[in-house]
Amino acid sequence: MMLMQDEVTWRCPVTCPKCKSEQPDSAQFCSQCATPLTDQKLAIKSKIPTWLGVLIVLALVFVGIAIRNMMQENERLRANQRRIPPVVTYQTPQPQPRSVNLTNGAATVGATSYTSYKFVVPENVSQVVVNGHFVATGGTGNDIDCFILDEDGFANLKNGHPTRTYYNSDRVTQAKIEVRNLAPGTYYILLDNRFSLFTPKAVQIEATLSYVQ
């Protein structure tokens, strides 16, 4: 049966360091010159086969290469992280309902005169609504005319010309005010008492502009 290389190394004869004669592996002293052989056997047994030494060297080389590659990869990742700016998430503001009071609650409208309240519908809004209510007292009819107009209509009405109105109560004592879907722009709530030649009117009016922005 063949022996492995390391097995042959362990069983080879011992050479006497003094007289160079070969001695059995089990000998403690040289049979020729009585020189102790213990140190010589230890030196032989400590020899590492060449193939094993080559494997150890190759393994160390591969481990070194792997460590170097890993360090280079980590450095590359850190460099990329430094170059990439942090991701910032922006949240789009959600539309919010808003409400604006348009009148101060009470108004006195003189004979042959009118009182107006100016308001603005902003750009980029939706679900525009003007809501309100008024009650008029004074004179024999306890009545008033109430209109909602844009700027052109307001100018025409003041000068006695026919005009377009977004709301017209007619001549009444009290009424609900409601107008929807006004476009962005400037508008007026008008309390008109020009038909009364002698009597002023007291008007209790509440109006609110609502929209989503």
The answer to whether 208 touches 100, Cβ cutoff 8 Å, is: yes
Q: What angle is formed at CA 90 by the lines to CA 86 and CA 94, rounded to 5 degrees? A: 170
Give per-10-residue mean pLDDT for the chain (213 aa).
42 74 78 75 58 83 88 84 72 90 94 96 96 96 97 93 95 97 97 96 97 95
Of 120, 118, 112, give the one whose Cα is nearest residue 145: 112
Residue whose token pair is 């006004």:
182
Q: Are strands 105-109 and 201-212 parallel, antiparallel or unpaired?
A: antiparallel
Provide the token pair at 89.
């998430």
pLDDT at res. 12: 59
Residue type, 60: L
